[in-house]
Protein backbone atom coordinates (compact mmCIF):
# COMPACT_ATOMS: atom_id res chain seq x y z
CA UNK A 1 0.00 0.00 0.00
CA UNK A 2 3.00 2.27 -0.15
CA UNK A 3 2.79 2.88 -3.90
CA UNK A 4 2.10 6.45 -4.99
CA UNK A 5 -0.62 5.18 -7.32
CA UNK A 6 -2.15 1.96 -5.93
CA UNK A 7 -4.96 1.95 -8.47
CA UNK A 8 -7.23 4.21 -10.52
CA UNK A 9 -8.20 7.39 -8.68
CA UNK A 10 -11.99 7.36 -8.30
CA UNK A 11 -12.57 10.10 -5.75
CA UNK A 12 -10.92 13.00 -3.94
CA UNK A 13 -12.02 14.95 -0.88
CA UNK A 14 -10.42 17.85 0.92
CA UNK A 15 -8.15 15.59 3.00
CA UNK A 16 -7.93 12.21 1.24
CA UNK A 17 -7.93 10.42 -2.11
CA UNK A 18 -9.80 7.21 -2.94
CA UNK A 19 -8.39 4.54 -5.28
CA UNK A 20 -10.02 1.44 -6.76
CA UNK A 21 -8.16 -1.75 -5.84
CA UNK A 22 -10.27 -4.35 -7.62
CA UNK A 23 -11.36 -7.67 -6.15
CA UNK A 24 -9.79 -9.62 -3.32
CA UNK A 25 -9.54 -13.43 -3.22
CA UNK A 26 -13.20 -13.66 -2.19
CA UNK A 27 -14.38 -11.57 -5.13
CA UNK A 28 -15.13 -8.50 -2.99
CA UNK A 29 -14.59 -5.09 -4.59
CA UNK A 30 -12.31 -2.84 -2.51
CA UNK A 31 -11.11 0.76 -2.36
CA UNK A 32 -8.15 2.40 -0.66
CA UNK A 33 -8.67 5.72 1.10
CA UNK A 34 -5.35 7.54 1.57
CA UNK A 35 -4.87 10.64 3.71
CA UNK A 36 -2.67 13.26 2.09
CA UNK A 37 -1.30 14.55 5.39
CA UNK A 38 0.00 11.12 6.39
CA UNK A 39 -2.29 10.72 9.41
CA UNK A 40 -2.94 7.24 10.77
CA UNK A 41 -6.09 5.35 9.81
CA UNK A 42 -5.98 2.69 12.57
CA UNK A 43 -8.16 4.66 15.00
CA UNK A 44 -10.80 5.23 12.34
CA UNK A 45 -10.78 1.53 11.42
CA UNK A 46 -11.21 0.54 15.07
CA UNK A 47 -14.23 2.79 15.55
CA UNK A 48 -15.80 1.51 12.32
CA UNK A 49 -15.44 -2.06 13.60
CA UNK A 50 -17.10 -0.99 16.85
CA UNK A 51 -19.96 0.60 14.92
CA UNK A 52 -20.42 -2.40 12.66
CA UNK A 53 -20.68 -4.58 15.75
CA UNK A 54 -23.46 -2.31 17.02
CA UNK A 55 -25.37 -2.64 13.74
CA UNK A 56 -24.60 0.84 12.40
CA UNK A 57 -24.19 1.11 8.59
CA UNK A 58 -20.49 1.58 7.80
CA UNK A 59 -18.25 0.14 5.05
CA UNK A 60 -16.51 -3.16 5.78
CA UNK A 61 -12.86 -2.60 6.70
CA UNK A 62 -10.18 -4.99 5.41
CA UNK A 63 -6.95 -3.32 6.51
CA UNK A 64 -5.55 -0.13 8.02
CA UNK A 65 -1.91 0.90 7.97
CA UNK A 66 -0.52 4.42 8.36
CA UNK A 67 -2.48 6.80 6.12
CA UNK A 68 -4.13 3.93 4.20
CA UNK A 69 -7.54 2.41 4.86
CA UNK A 70 -8.77 -0.49 2.69
CA UNK A 71 -12.56 -0.91 2.67
CA UNK A 72 -15.33 -2.43 0.63
CA UNK A 73 -16.31 -0.52 -2.49
CA UNK A 74 -19.87 0.71 -2.09
CA UNK A 75 -22.36 0.83 -4.93
CA UNK A 76 -24.61 3.81 -5.55
CA UNK A 77 -23.72 7.47 -5.08
CA UNK A 78 -23.69 9.89 -2.21
CA UNK A 79 -26.80 11.69 -0.98
CA UNK A 80 -25.50 15.12 -2.02
CA UNK A 81 -24.96 14.02 -5.63
CA UNK A 82 -28.39 12.40 -5.74
CA UNK A 83 -30.02 15.48 -4.26
CA UNK A 84 -28.49 17.62 -7.00
CA UNK A 85 -30.36 15.61 -9.64
CA UNK A 86 -33.50 14.83 -7.61
CA UNK A 87 -34.07 17.89 -5.41
CA UNK A 88 -37.69 16.93 -4.75
CA UNK A 89 -36.34 14.30 -2.32
CA UNK A 90 -34.94 16.94 0.04
CA UNK A 91 -37.48 16.28 2.81
CA UNK A 92 -36.93 12.53 2.62
CA UNK A 93 -33.15 12.94 2.74
CA UNK A 94 -33.36 15.35 5.67
CA UNK A 95 -35.32 12.70 7.52
CA UNK A 96 -32.77 10.01 6.60
CA UNK A 97 -29.89 12.21 7.77
CA UNK A 98 -31.63 12.95 11.08
CA UNK A 99 -32.26 9.23 11.66
CA UNK A 100 -28.61 8.41 10.96
CA UNK A 101 -27.59 10.96 13.59
CA UNK A 102 -30.07 9.60 16.12
CA UNK A 103 -28.96 6.00 15.54
CA UNK A 104 -25.31 6.96 15.88
CA UNK A 105 -25.86 8.90 19.07
CA UNK A 106 -27.51 5.89 20.70
CA UNK A 107 -24.13 4.06 20.59
CA UNK A 108 -21.77 4.38 23.54
CA UNK A 109 -18.24 5.37 22.49
CA UNK A 110 -15.35 3.01 23.20
CA UNK A 111 -13.32 4.19 26.22
CA UNK A 112 -10.27 4.90 24.05
CA UNK A 113 -12.07 7.54 21.98
CA UNK A 114 -11.11 11.09 22.97
CA UNK A 115 -13.84 13.54 23.94
CA UNK A 116 -14.49 16.69 21.97
CA UNK A 117 -16.76 19.68 22.68
CA UNK A 118 -17.05 18.81 26.35
CA UNK A 119 -18.01 15.68 28.26
CA UNK A 120 -20.13 12.95 26.75
CA UNK A 121 -20.03 9.23 26.09
CA UNK A 122 -21.65 8.98 22.64
CA UNK A 123 -19.94 8.56 19.29
CA UNK A 124 -19.77 11.77 17.23
CA UNK A 125 -19.00 11.62 13.51
CA UNK A 126 -18.39 15.39 13.22
CA UNK A 127 -18.75 15.34 9.44
CA UNK A 128 -22.10 13.58 8.97
CA UNK A 129 -23.68 15.53 6.11
CA UNK A 130 -25.20 14.38 2.78
CA UNK A 131 -21.81 14.14 1.05
CA UNK A 132 -20.78 11.41 3.50
CA UNK A 133 -23.90 9.26 3.16
CA UNK A 134 -23.73 6.67 0.38
CA UNK A 135 -27.09 5.50 -0.99
CA UNK A 136 -26.44 1.81 -1.64
CA UNK A 137 -28.57 -1.21 -2.46
CA UNK A 138 -28.38 -2.18 1.23
CA UNK A 139 -29.50 1.26 2.38
CA UNK A 140 -27.65 4.42 3.43
CA UNK A 141 -24.05 3.84 4.57
CA UNK A 142 -22.00 6.48 6.41
CA UNK A 143 -18.41 7.04 5.26
CA UNK A 144 -15.39 9.18 6.26
CA UNK A 145 -14.90 8.65 9.99
CA UNK A 146 -11.64 10.60 10.21
CA UNK A 147 -13.05 13.19 12.67
CA UNK A 148 -14.75 10.69 14.99
CA UNK A 149 -14.79 11.57 18.70
CA UNK A 150 -16.79 11.03 21.87
CA UNK A 151 -19.05 13.68 23.31
CA UNK A 152 -22.56 15.11 23.51
CA UNK A 153 -24.80 14.46 20.46
CA UNK A 154 -25.90 18.11 20.10
CA UNK A 155 -22.38 19.05 19.02
CA UNK A 156 -22.50 16.50 16.20
CA UNK A 157 -25.87 17.80 14.99
CA UNK A 158 -24.50 21.35 15.18
CA UNK A 159 -21.45 20.42 13.09
CA UNK A 160 -23.61 18.80 10.41
CA UNK A 161 -25.95 21.81 10.33
CA UNK A 162 -23.00 24.20 10.01
CA UNK A 163 -21.37 22.21 7.21
CA UNK A 164 -24.60 22.18 5.24
CA UNK A 165 -25.19 25.89 5.90
CA UNK A 166 -21.72 27.21 5.06
CA UNK A 167 -19.95 24.87 2.64
CA UNK A 168 -19.49 26.19 -0.87
CA UNK A 169 -21.07 24.50 -3.84
CA UNK A 170 -18.35 24.31 -6.47
CA UNK A 171 -19.20 26.68 -9.30
CA UNK A 172 -22.93 26.05 -9.84
CA UNK A 173 -24.28 27.72 -12.99
CA UNK A 174 -25.54 31.22 -12.24
CA UNK A 175 -29.14 30.34 -13.09
CA UNK A 176 -29.09 27.39 -10.66
CA UNK A 177 -27.82 29.30 -7.63
CA UNK A 178 -31.28 30.33 -6.35
CA UNK A 179 -32.39 26.68 -6.58
CA UNK A 180 -29.29 25.53 -4.68
CA UNK A 181 -30.08 28.09 -1.98
CA UNK A 182 -33.69 26.94 -1.68
CA UNK A 183 -32.76 23.27 -1.46
CA UNK A 184 -30.13 23.97 1.14
CA UNK A 185 -32.50 26.06 3.24
CA UNK A 186 -35.17 23.34 3.10
CA UNK A 187 -32.64 20.69 4.10
CA UNK A 188 -31.43 22.79 7.04
CA UNK A 189 -34.92 23.49 8.36
CA UNK A 190 -36.10 19.90 8.06
CA UNK A 191 -32.94 18.34 9.46
CA UNK A 192 -32.93 20.63 12.49
CA UNK A 193 -36.61 19.95 13.13
CA UNK A 194 -36.22 16.16 12.95
CA UNK A 195 -32.89 15.57 14.68
CA UNK A 196 -33.28 14.26 18.21
CA UNK A 197 -30.83 16.80 19.66
CA UNK A 198 -31.10 20.58 19.38
CA UNK A 199 -27.91 22.04 17.85
CA UNK A 200 -28.72 25.62 18.90
CA UNK A 201 -26.78 25.76 22.19
CA UNK A 202 -23.67 24.34 20.51
CA UNK A 203 -23.63 26.37 17.27
CA UNK A 204 -21.31 29.17 18.38
CA UNK A 205 -18.71 26.89 19.96
CA UNK A 206 -18.73 24.36 17.12
CA UNK A 207 -18.63 27.09 14.46
CA UNK A 208 -15.51 28.61 15.98
CA UNK A 209 -13.86 25.20 16.20
CA UNK A 210 -14.63 24.52 12.54
CA UNK A 211 -13.10 27.86 11.57
CA UNK A 212 -9.70 26.43 12.57
CA UNK A 213 -9.97 23.53 10.09
CA UNK A 214 -7.23 24.04 7.52
CA UNK A 215 -9.34 22.38 4.80
CA UNK A 216 -12.12 24.96 4.73
CA UNK A 217 -12.17 27.98 2.43
CA UNK A 218 -12.00 31.68 3.36
CA UNK A 219 -15.61 32.33 2.34
CA UNK A 220 -16.72 29.47 4.56
CA UNK A 221 -14.78 30.91 7.49
CA UNK A 222 -16.62 34.22 7.05
CA UNK A 223 -19.99 32.45 7.03
CA UNK A 224 -19.09 30.49 10.14
CA UNK A 225 -18.09 33.71 11.90
CA UNK A 226 -21.45 35.26 10.99
CA UNK A 227 -23.32 32.28 12.40
CA UNK A 228 -21.20 32.19 15.57
CA UNK A 229 -21.84 35.88 16.19
CA UNK A 230 -25.58 35.47 15.56
CA UNK A 231 -25.72 32.44 17.86
CA UNK A 232 -23.96 34.40 20.61
CA UNK A 233 -26.58 37.13 20.28
CA UNK A 234 -29.39 34.58 19.77
CA UNK A 235 -30.21 36.56 16.62
CA UNK A 236 -31.83 33.65 14.80
CA UNK A 237 -34.99 35.16 13.23
CA UNK A 238 -33.00 37.43 10.82
CA UNK A 239 -30.72 34.53 9.92
CA UNK A 240 -33.65 32.22 9.16
CA UNK A 241 -35.19 34.88 6.92
CA UNK A 242 -31.89 35.19 5.05
CA UNK A 243 -31.85 31.45 4.46
CA UNK A 244 -35.41 31.50 3.13
CA UNK A 245 -34.47 34.25 0.70
CA UNK A 246 -31.43 32.23 -0.38
CA UNK A 247 -28.87 34.86 0.62
CA UNK A 248 -25.27 34.14 1.48
CA UNK A 249 -25.13 30.55 2.55
CA UNK A 250 -26.53 28.87 -0.53
CA UNK A 251 -24.25 30.21 -3.25
CA UNK A 252 -20.69 31.14 -4.08
CA UNK A 253 -21.20 34.88 -3.86
Domain assignment present for residue 50? The answer is yes
227 and 199 share one domain: yes
What is the extent of the structural domain holding 224? Answer: 77-245
Task: Look up the CATH number of the domain holding residue 21.
Answer: 3.30.200.20
Q: What is the C-alpha end-to-end distance of the chain, expressed in Å?
A: 41
- State how beta strands 61-65 and 29-35 pair: unpaired
User: Is residue 63 within a helix (H) or strand (E), and if so which, with residue range?
Assistant: strand 61-65
pLDDT at residue 79, rounded to an integer: 96
Q: What is the pTM of this model?
A: 0.87
pLDDT at residue 205, rounded to an integer: 96
Task: Look up the CATH number of the domain holding residue 101.
Answer: 1.10.510.10
Q: At what angle do helices 218-233 and 236-245 cross, to 10 degrees?
A: 140
Domain assignment present for residue 165? The answer is yes
67 and 117 share one domain: no
37 and 93 share one domain: no
What is the maximum alpha-carbon separation in the chain? 58
Per-residue pLDDT tens digits for 191-200: 999 999 999 9
User: Is residue 66 within a helix (H) or strand (E), and if so which, with residue range?
Assistant: none
Our count of domains for the chain comes to: 2
pLDDT at residue 35, rounded to an integer: 87
pLDDT at residue 84, rounded to an integer: 86
Distances (CA, A) of 239 to 38, 49, 231: 39, 40, 10
The SS3 call for residue 135 is: strand
Domain assignment present for residue 3? The answer is no
143 and 236 share one domain: yes
User: Which residue ranges of the chain lie beneath pLDDT 50?
Assistant: 1-2, 238, 241-253
89 and 193 share one domain: yes
Distances (CA, A) of 26 to 1, 10, 19, 29, 31: 19, 22, 19, 9, 15
84 and 159 share one domain: yes
151 and 188 share one domain: yes
pLDDT at residue 26, rounded to an integer: 73
The answer to whether residues 184 and 87 touch, using CB atoms and an 8 Å cutoff, is: no
Picking from 33, 56, 72, the residue at the C-terminal end of a domain is: 72
44 and 118 share one domain: no
pLDDT at residue 23, rounded to an integer: 78
Radius of gyration, CA atoms only, the chain: 18
Amino acid sequence: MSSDQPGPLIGAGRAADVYALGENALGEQRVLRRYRNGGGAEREAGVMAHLAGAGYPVPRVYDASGPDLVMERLDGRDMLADLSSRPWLVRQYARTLAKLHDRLHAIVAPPSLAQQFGPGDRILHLDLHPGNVMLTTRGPVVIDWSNVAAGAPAADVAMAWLIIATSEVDAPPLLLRPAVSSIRAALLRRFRALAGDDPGPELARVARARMTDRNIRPAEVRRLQTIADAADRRAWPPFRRALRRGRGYGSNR
